[in-house]
Structure 1
Amino acid sequence: MSLNEQQLLELKPDHIVDAIGEVCPHTLNLALAGLKRAKSGEIVVEITDHSIATKTIPAAVKMNKYGEFLGVAKKGGNYHIFIKKA
């Protein structure tokens, strides 16, 4: 699935993970905890100000087959990382 930033921000996430002010690896741990709470097919969005998380979270999701990385949208200086749980 390939969505642009506007389409991502229009999605209605089932779970929102607030990771503002956190750094790796805690941003990754928070995202994985959010995915653990989610049911199959639900959308989890992590909101963070840590740019490295936009690389580590998608890589971990793909490598471990936790779900589908939908994309990253930047809004208000924060990154919104969208994942659909497998």
Structure 2
Amino acid sequence: MSLSEQQLLELKPDIVVDAVGEVCPHTLNLALDGLKKAKPGDIVVEVTDHSIATKTIPAAVKMNKIGEFLGVAKKGGQYHIFVKKT
């Protein structure tokens, strides 16, 4: 699925993970915890200011086959990382 930043920001997430001020690996652990709480089909978004998380979270989601990475939207200096739980 390929969505624009605007389309991503219009999604209504089921779970929002606040990871602003956190760094790896904590940003990844927070995202994985959010996905564990999610039900299949739920959209989880992690909000972070740590740019590395935009690489580690999608890679972990793909490697562990726990969701579908939908994309990243940048807004106000923060990254919104969208994943749909499978």
Give the TM-score normalised by structure 2.
Answer: 1.00
Show the counterpart of 2:67.
67
Offset at 1:72? 0.1
Q: Would you identify which runs of 4 or more consecutive aligned residues in structure 1 move more than 4 Å?
A: none
The CA deviation string for residues 18-70 of structure 1, in whole angstroms up to 9 with x for no partner, is 00000000000000000000000000000000000000000000010010000
How far apart in 2 are the matches of 1:85 and 1:39?
A: 7
Root mean square deviation, CA, Å: 0.2
- Name the residue aligned to 2:11: 11
TM score, norm. by length of structure 1: 1.00
Give the AA of the match of 1:78.
Answer: Q
Count residues with an aligned counterpart. Answer: 86
* Separation in 2, partners of 1:18, 1:72: 15
- Note the residue ranges of structure 2 that are not aligned, 5 or more in a row: none
Aligned equivalents of 2:66 and 2:26: distance in 1? 17
CA distance in 2, matches of 1:37, 1:23: 21
Give the letter aligned to residue 13 of structure 2: P
